[in-house]
Amino acid sequence: MSVPVTSAHSCRSRPVPVAALVRALQLRDLTDPNEGPHALQLLVGAAADALATSWDCDVRVERSRPVVSLEDNYDRLGYGPDAVTRDARYTRYVSDTTMLRSHTSAGVPPVLRQLAQHPPARSVLLVLPGICHRRDSIDRMHTSAPHQLDLWLVRRGGARLDHDDLHTMVAALVEAMLPGSHWRWNRTEHPYTAGGREVEVIHGDRPVEIAECGLAAPEVLTRAGLDPAVWSGLALGMGLDRMLMLRKGVPDIRLLRSPDPRIDAQMQHLDPYHPVSDLPPATRDISLAVPADDDAEILGDRVRDALGDSADLVEEVAVLSRTGYDDLPQPARRRLGIRPDQCNVLLRLTLRPVDRTLTGDEANEIRDHVYAALHNGT
């Protein structure tokens, strides 16, 4: 039985603006062949093929809708009612009971319930790719609509799946998606796994996280109607955008969606990326009065909402400085119209489309638009 949605959800569920919701639902899912070919689909296929080869199992590709219930996104995966991730800072609520999924794991509970109703004869590999929606900072490596891939291997009876199997799973995936890469894992915790692990590959001279995994938590199986004494499973989730960037050497996540034919043609295969051009950036600094608890993720999200379809013109939003009300001189307080519960943030916008150079007037217009949307002074 799932945990009921509590009133704590309602008090924190500030709905996403209608315009932002429409943009999110219209955004092309690069993992879906029905929306056109893309290299992300090749990664999904490589992952599924590698695991199907490692185990004698059936493969089920499942695509859930972007709007999911809070119960499937949180409760049935073991997130407590007071989990910080439920806060409207991090979750894009549609209503008190629904949201834009924050991870493709939200599609797992419904499929597990189907398995409980119609038990398979063999082990099943669940492949769940798709877009997720989060509040995130703006830079070359992050987006508010990342593509993710969940891979769950579920077995009824027989030898129980364990950490040796999990190690085999990770090794097969790394070799299939990032051939020849060295990897390691570290212990961590997830609500939906037992014995969780964080997987990193060594890229250049630094570790880069690529996946989270573990044994399927008995509580998750139980909530779906699967007896954990009979059923066992492996659970793994990864970010596909970062994986493709590592595989091809793509320097900017926005390039994955570029309409430039020279770039788009390179997003049809897994060969190394060849830069098309090095366009000069335009930078604009803005001094703002904002709520004292607004962090880089919140500010980045507000910039995206303010610019709408033009948000992809922004390469990075960086907080250069943050000064509390008490630390500001009186003339600065008057100029900003700042209140005691606010702070002064110096924000730097780095503007650089992936396919052209912005004019000065265009850059100034974006700066002014962001200022009008984010400045909360009087």
pLDDT of residue 95: 94
Q: What is the pLDDT of residues 66-114, one digit of tens each?
A: 999 999 999 999 999 988 888 887 899 999 999 999 999 999 999 999 9
Q: Are 211 and 170 in contact (CB under 8 A)?
A: yes
Q: What is the pLDDT of residues 112-142, one digit of tens each?
A: 999 999 999 999 999 999 999 988 777 888 8
Decide if pLDDT at 10 tops 80: no
Q: What is the pTM of this model?
A: 0.82
345: confidence class by pLDDT, cuts 50, 70, 90: very high
Decide if pLDDT at 288 tops 60: yes
Q: What is the pLDDT of residues 77-87, one digit of tens each?
A: 999 998 888 88
Burial annotation 118-136 (CB, 10 A radius, 16+ → b, else e) = eeeeebbbbbbbbbbbbbb
pLDDT of residue 181: 94
Q: What is the pLDDT of residues 20-37, one digit of tens each?
A: 899 999 999 999 999 999
pLDDT of residue 12: 56
Average pLDDT, the chain: 92
Average pLDDT over residues 340-350: 95
Q: What is the pLDDT of residues 241-282, one digit of tens each?
A: 999 999 999 999 999 999 888 899 999 999 999 988 678 889
Q: What is the pLDDT of residues 309-330, one digit of tens each?
A: 888 899 999 999 999 999 999 9
CA–CA separation, 248 vs 37, rounded Å?
A: 16
Burial annotation 194-231 (CB, 10 A radius, 16+ → b, else e) = bebbbbbbeeeeebbebbbbbbbbbebbebbebebeeb
Range name among 7-11, 155-159, 217-221, 300-304 with the lowest pLDDT average: 7-11
Domains by residue range for the chain, with CATH: 18-248 (3.30.930.10), 282-374 (3.30.70.380)
Question: Where are any strands of DSSP class E within the chain?
Answer: 57-61, 67-69, 98-100, 123-131, 147-156, 183-187, 193-203, 206-216, 231-239, 282-291, 314-324, 342-351
Q: What is the pLDDT of residues 182-235, one digit of tens each?
A: 999 999 999 999 999 999 999 888 999 999 999 999 999 999 999 999 999 999
